[in-house]
């Protein structure tokens, strides 16, 4: 899995080193693919599921298997998945220097990104909850260690434990390709942040990756630095998967805090 992760990073790097005007068609394809496959997956699992969860289960039930008595804290932990879906909504601002009419396009991109994430995320989560048939045990402790994959297995089953492997795997592949395509954009945005900070001499060794390659017009050195750092993070599960999961959770929470700081400053101190 670590090797696959690093290989995926390498492919994202190769795409991002291409000339910026050669990447537009790919980004458009990725966006269309992600939207179409989202609808296809939800429609397919709802149609295939032998039994659906009740509306009471989906909208009103609360399940706590953490053995923690603090309901509020457990609820916050459960929100991490939803918050992760909103991570990176400011991406348009990181790419604003490479767009026309950035002062208008970038804010619109941020607002539209949040709205799109809310609508598609809600649609996806509700679809999964109905398709799981109220089977929490089968979702959490199913044939794989990924709850979403287990829900695909529950949906493509006969209700007696026999899974239609082809159907479940097909949905998993569509989702994995979806995530893989999203990784290209994440790499683009992260490297632009690295380049911007290096340009302001805010990072160690900034002079080595604060430049744009004259031929392809992208910060190639910054892309290589991010690839190296991401690869190091991918090696963490070899030592401790718990540490890797903790870093993911902390970064998700850190994202939201970093988003909140400028918003609070803008509506308080900046108005004076």
> Exposed e or buried b for every residue in 41-53, given b needs 16+ CB within 10 A?
bbebbeebbeebb
Q: What is the DSSP string of 105-150?
A: HHHHHHHHHHHHHHHHHHHHHHHHHHHTTT-HHHHHSSSSS-HHHH
CB 181 within 8 A of CB 36: no
Given this model, what pLDDT does residue 89 score?
Answer: 67
Q: Which residues pair with 157 in a beta bridge?
A: 163
Given this model, what pLDDT does residue 84 score?
Answer: 67
Residue 91 to residue 185: CA distance in whole angstroms: 9
Given this model, what pLDDT does residue 79 score?
Answer: 77
Given this model, what pLDDT does residue 111 score?
Answer: 84
Given this model, what pLDDT does residue 39 score?
Answer: 92
Given this model, what pLDDT does residue 82 score?
Answer: 73
Given this model, what pLDDT does residue 85 score?
Answer: 66
3-state helix vs strand vs coil in the chain, percent to 5: 75, 0, 25
> 89 in helix, strand or coil?
coil
Averages of pLDDT over runs of 10 residues in the chain (272 residues) are 88 85 78 90 93 92 81 78 69 71 79 83 90 90 87 87 87 90 84 86 86 87 91 84 78 77 81 62
CB 46 within 8 A of CB 58: no
Given this model, what pLDDT does residue 270 score?
Answer: 67
The single residue listed with the structure tokens 């630095």 is 225
Given this model, what pLDDT does residue 26 score?
Answer: 81
């Amino acid at each position: 899995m670590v090797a696959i992760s690093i290989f995926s990073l390498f492919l994202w790097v190769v795409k991002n080193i291409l000339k910026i005007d050669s990447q537009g068609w790919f980004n458009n394809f990725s966006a269309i693919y992600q939207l179409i496959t989202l609808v296809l997956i939800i429609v397919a699992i709802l149609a295939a599921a032998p039994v659906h969860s009740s509306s009471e289960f989906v909208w009103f039930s609360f399940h706590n298997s953490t053995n923690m008595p603090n309901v509020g804290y457990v609820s916050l932990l459960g929100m991490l998945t939803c918050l992760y879906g909103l991570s990176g909504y400011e991406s348009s601002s990181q790419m604003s220097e490479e767009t026309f009419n950035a002062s208008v396009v970038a804010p619109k991109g941020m607002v539209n990104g949040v709205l799109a994430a809310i609508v598609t995320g809600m649609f996806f989560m509700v679809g999964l909850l109905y398709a799981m048939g109220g089977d929490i045990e089968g979702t959490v402790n199913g044939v794989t260690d990924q709850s979403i994959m287990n829900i695909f297995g529950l949906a493509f089953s006969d209700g007696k434990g026999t899974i239609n492997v082809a159907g479940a795997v097909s949905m998993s592949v569509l989702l994995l390709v979806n995530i893989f395509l999203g990784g290209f954009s994440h790499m683009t945005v992260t490297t632009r942040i690295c380049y911007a900070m290096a340009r302001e001499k805010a990072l160690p060794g900034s002079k080595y990756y604060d430049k744009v390659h004259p031929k392809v017009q992208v910060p190639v050195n910054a892309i290589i630095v991010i690839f190296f750092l991401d690869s190091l993070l991918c090696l963490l599960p070899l030592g401790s998967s718990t540490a890797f999961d903790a870093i993911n959770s902390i970064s998700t929470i850190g994202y939201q805090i970093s988003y909140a700081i400028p918003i609070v400053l803008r509506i308080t101190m900046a108005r004076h």
